[in-house]
């Protein structure tokens, strides 16, 4: 296909084809094609102009941007239909009445207090807080014990939250 050696237009076409095929490879459904198209479109937009702006943006905004794109794309990957994916996205962004029908899940049903235990530290750590935490742990005598203990506690909490979730079979068994 020529890779990226035949100009910007050809590179963008190649990226679009690769990501659409990646979507089809994961499953023969429109949701997978949309998932691939979202990823491909974002890579192309970054290559064309968005990348320059992201390079100059603070790391926190870059993290938020990536998480938003991935979060939206994975809704399509996991949903049974494109209309259900749009309904999920409407619920996620507080637009349940606009997308039609009853909300699939309410915000508080999915994101309760138990998720805050991991979400708040996760946001803080992914936004650069881990550098502050490392400085704290290094400058204390108990740091060699506290750091692994805290990390183990977060891991155990995450595993418990996943284990307590409803039955969810492996996604590729649906084919």
Could you give the residue numbers annotated as active site? 26
Asked if residue 41 lies in contact with residue 73, where contact means CB atoms within 8 angstroms, the answer is no
Cβ-based burial of 141 (10 A; exposed 0-12, middle 13-18, buried ≥19): exposed
User: What span, in angstroms and rounded, lies between the C-alpha atoms of 144 and 137?
Assistant: 7
User: Token pair for residue 82?
Assistant: 């494109």
């Amino acid at each position: 296909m020529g890779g990226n050696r035949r100009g910007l237009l050809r590179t963008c076409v190649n990226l679009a084809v690769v990501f659409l095929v990646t979507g089809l490879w994961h499953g023969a459904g429109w949701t997978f094609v949309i998932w691939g198209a979202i990823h491909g479109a974002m890579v192309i937009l970054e290559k064309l102009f968005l990348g320059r702006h992201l390079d100059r943006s603070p790391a926190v905004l870059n993290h938020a941007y990536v998480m938003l794109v991935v979060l939206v794309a994975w809704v399509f990957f996991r949903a049974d239909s494109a209309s259900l994916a749009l309904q999920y996205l409407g619920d996620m962004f507080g637009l349940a009445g606009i997308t039609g029908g009853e909300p699939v899940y309410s915000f508080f049903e999915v994101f309760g207090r138990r998720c805050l235990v991991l979400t708040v530290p996760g946001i803080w750590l992914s936004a650069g807080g881990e550098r502050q935490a490392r400085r704290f742990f290094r400058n204390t005598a108990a740091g060699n014990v506290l750091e692994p203990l805290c990390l183990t506690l977060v891991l155990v909490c995450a595993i418990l939250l996943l284990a307590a979730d409803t039955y969810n079979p492996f996604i590729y068994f649906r084919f």
